[in-house]
């Protein structure tokens, strides 16, 4: 199984060609140059790896959240290639990729459906969204529970609320809840240092390979004609409107993405 992976959401874009066991070739697109270099880089990488694009089995794209321009460029290229080559598409959240890089504490089972006497392990992934806000994703056993755009205050409050709710819901069921917070940006780690987050390297396209393979095996594909970017952004009207509530803005689910 040969897969092309694309991620242009961050400051540095990247692409990768992989099979079902390992990466075959990778390339970076420095300095927000994806708009000009992405498609030529894909053809160059395919030639380097000796793989014809028409022989691919699928294309996976990290479709946000992140840079508006980068997200659009990567998703548009993936959709265009899928249409031209008649390939299935898998769109993956950047927060989900980041969460997958977290190191699990000792004693936590790898099963996505823990038994009554096992740990319930949750991972929170956090990315800088600018304007003093964070992109936040909450996952359990690899499944997305929620993704949202939060201020620092809202995020800290949600962490406390989640801990309270978990303790109440698990009481009497013989299970314990453990949560890992993972970030990839030093400034974000510093801003929430009191929570002792794990700091990992920024995800690249190849980081999405395990998630892409899982989706492909499940045949959980996205429709290239209707899939949209995972912006997790408020509109200008929401940003500049008079505040009426402190509730987080939740992204609408799309086909192929677990409900949030």
**pLDDT by residue (tens digit) across 111-123?**
444 444 445 689 9
Cβ(197)–Cβ(189) under 8 Å?
yes
Instruction: Give the position of tokens 């429709």.
Output: 223
Beta-carbon count within 10 A of 164 CB: 10
Contacts of 61 (CB under 8 A, 6+ apart): 5, 6, 7, 74, 75, 77, 78, 89, 90, 91, 92
In angstroms, the CA 15 to CA 225 distance is: 22
Which residues does the chain have with pLDDT short of 70? 31-33, 105-120, 160-177, 234-260
Beta strand 133-140 pairing with 143-151: antiparallel
Backbone angles phi, psi at 184, to 5 degrees: -125, 5
The two tokens of residue 128 are 């800088």
What are the residue ranges of helices labelled H in 50-112?
A: 68-85, 94-100
In angstroms, the CA 187 to CA 189 distance is: 5
The two tokens of residue 230 are 């995972």
The reply to whether CATH 3.30.420.40 applies to domain 3-93+203-229 is yes
Predicted confidence at residue 105, as pLDDT, reads 67
In angstroms, the CA 211 to CA 223 distance is: 17
**pLDDT by residue (tens digit) across 131-185?**
899 999 999 988 999 999 999 999 999 886 655 454 444 444 444 557 899 999 9
Predicted confidence at residue 178, as pLDDT, reads 75
Counting Cα atoms < 13 Å in the Cβ hemisphere of 121 gives 21
Cβ(89)–Cβ(222) under 8 Å?
yes
pTM of the model: 0.82
Report how far apart, in Å, the C-alpha atoms of 36 and of each of 2, 13, 157, 231, 246 are. Answer: 25, 12, 41, 22, 40
Predicted confidence at residue 246, as pLDDT, reads 46
The two tokens of residue 109 are 């089972």
Show me where the domains of the chain are located: 3-93+203-229, 102-199
């Amino acid at each position: 199984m040969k897969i092309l992976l694309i991620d242009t959401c961050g400051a540095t874009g990247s692409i990768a060609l992989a099979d079902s066991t390992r990466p075959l070739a990778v390339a970076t697109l420095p300095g927000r140059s994806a708009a000009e270099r992405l498609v030529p880089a894909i053809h160059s990488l395919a030639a380097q790896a000796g793989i014809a694009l028409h022989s691919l089995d699928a294309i996976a794209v990290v479709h946000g959240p992140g840079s508006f321009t980068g997200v659009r460029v990567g998703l548009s290229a993936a959709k265009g290639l899928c249409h031209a080559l008649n390939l299935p598409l898998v769109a993956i959240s950047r927060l989900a990729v980041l969460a997958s890089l977290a190191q699990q504490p000792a004693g936590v089972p790898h099963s996505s459906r823990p038994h009554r006497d096992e740990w319930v392990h949750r991972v929170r992934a956090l990315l800088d969204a600018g304007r003093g806000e964070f992109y936040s994703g909450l996952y359990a056993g690899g499944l997305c529970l929620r993704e949202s755009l939060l201020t620092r205050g809202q995020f800290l409050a949600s962490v406390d609320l989640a801990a309270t709710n978990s303790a109440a819901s698990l009481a009497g069921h013989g299970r314990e809840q453990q949560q890992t917070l993972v970030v990839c940006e030093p400034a974000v780690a510093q801003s929430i240092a009191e929570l002792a987050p794990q700091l990992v390297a920024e995800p690249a396209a190849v980081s999405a390979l395990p998630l892409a393979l899982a989706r492909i095996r499940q045949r959980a594909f996205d429709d290239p004609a209707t899939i949209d970017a995972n912006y997790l952004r408020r509109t200008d009207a929401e940003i500049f409107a008079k505040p009426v509530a402190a509730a987080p803005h939740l992204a609408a689910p799309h086909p192929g993405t677990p409900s949030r």
